[in-house]
Amino acid sequence: MELNIVCIPGDGIGPEIVKEAKKVLNRVAERYGHQMKYTDILMGGASIDVHGVPLTEEAVATAKAADAVLMGSIGGDTTTSPWYQLPPHLRPEAGLLGIRKALNLFANLRPAVLYGELADACPLKKEISAQGFDMLIMRELTGGLYFGERKTVEENGIRKAVDTLTYDETEIRRIAVKGFTIAMKRKKKVTSVDKANVLDSSRLWRSVVEEVAKDYPEVELEHMLVDNCAMQLVKNPAQFDVILTENMFGDILSDEASMVTGSIGMLASASLNDTKFGLYEPSHGSAPDIAGKDIANPIATVLSAAMMLRYSFDLDKEADAVEAAVQEVLKDGCRTVDIMSAGCRQVSCSGMGTLLAERIR
């Protein structure tokens, strides 16, 4: 199979971690008989330096023509970088918002996995972390409170602000379909999270999710109120497989879920549209404090590349091989500095990439 991938190395540690992800993908291609075709585009600060804008129309067109996009991270030190002297629409992050919009990426996926070998980094009690967890938060990304009408007015000398939370059934249906489709590739359980005891938008959410569920009889569906879900994530995270939720709830819950893993350098993510196309990137930023030192952890980017194989190319076996390589390297006690612990062997960013590539079977 030919995989036509656009890469956005970006800024800071971005180029270093994307290079290692490519190393692993190239080994996958060798082992499984695929051809990787990479095209790099500039985004964020790297694009500002060359073109004066964080994202050009040509870059968007190149991304649109690909099967998937693999990104490192963008942005610099927000207090010292000259990029942050520019007006907001010309700063690095505007490039990311621009590409998400241009590619209509409405579904955000963030897995939160606790690796047994890294259990010490988990801030939860030992009896909870000992069970491990492997969940995926599926968050609606382009609707809801963050995109509704908003205004601030003054009435009778009192300032008043209004934000509007709107969802229509089409927006709910398309994210629900994504959630159930992905649950079919996992443990076949969807927990739909809402606030249906209070909000009309949540009651519509619940009823549309139930309609969609009828097309996926193998998937177990449960509904959970968002306040309960926030508690369950720290009380019993092992119960979850796919958590399906709207934009603001997903924003908060995905950060909570990722923090309970304790390791920022391990967290992958994907943003998908209604085709197989997706943008895959680590959840962390460009870490300007460690850029160029060959010490960044490339695993989040490598795991994002595994998600790309699974969700954009349906190459489940290949994705499993990448995830197994990560498990194996951790089991062997190899660690980048951010996840280093006593008795383990410290390796560089490029060293970790090489070890992972070597273990692709």
**Residue 93 interacts with ligand NAD (CB under 6 A): yes or no:** yes
Q: Is 296 in the site for ligand NAD (CB under 6 A)?
A: yes
Concerning whether 251 is annotated as a catalytic residue, the answer is yes
Contact 325, 283 (CB under 8 A): no
Amino acid occupying residue 54: P
What would the DSSP string read from start to end of 165-199?
----HHHHHHHHHHHHHHHHTTTSEEEEEE-TTT-
Would you call 255 a catalytic residue per the annotation? yes
Give the C-alpha separation, 139 to 189, whole Å: 16
Among 30, 49, 57, 78, binds ligand NAD (CB under 6 A): 78
Residue of 137, 135, 146 lying closest to 175 (CA atoms): 137
Residues 328 to 347 in contact with ligand NAD, rule: CB under 6 A:
338
105 binds ligand NAD (CB under 6 A): no
Determine, following the binding rule CB under 6 A, whether residue 202 of this chain makes contact with ligand NAD.
Answer: no
Q: Is 281 in the site for ligand NAD (CB under 6 A)?
A: yes
Site for ligand NAD in 38-67 (CB under 6 A): none
Quote the CA–CA distance of 306 and 88 in Å, as a whole number.
33
Alpha-carbon distance 40 to 50, whole Å? 14
Site string for ligand NAD, 235-274 (x = CB under 6 A): -----------------------------xx---------
Query: Is 227 marked active-site?
Result: yes
Measured distance CA(12)–CA(294) in Å, rounded: 11
Candidate segments 72-80, 115-123, 214-222, 311-319, binder of ligand NAD by CB under 6 A = 72-80
Q: How far is the CB of 102 from ligand NAD (least distance, A)?
A: 16
SS3 content of the chain, % helix, strand, coil (to 5): 45, 20, 30
**Which one-letter amino acid corresponds to residue 67?**
D
Asked if residue 20 binds ligand NAD (CB under 6 A), the reply is no
The CA distance from 85 to 180, in Å, is 43
Catalytic, out of 168, 255, 314, 316: 255
Closer Cβ to ligand NAD, 29 or 306, answer by number: 306
Residue 285 is a binding residue for ligand NAD (CB under 6 A)? yes
Q: Which stretch binds ligand NAD (CB under 6 A): 32-40, 55-63, 290-298, 309-317?
A: 290-298
Number of residues located near ligand NAD, criterion CB under 6 A: 22
Task: Give alpha helix (H) positions in 33-132.
Answer: 45-51, 57-64, 92-102, 126-129
- Which stretches of the chain bind ligand NAD, using CB under 6 A? 13, 73-76, 78, 93, 96, 264-265, 281, 284-290, 296-297, 300, 338
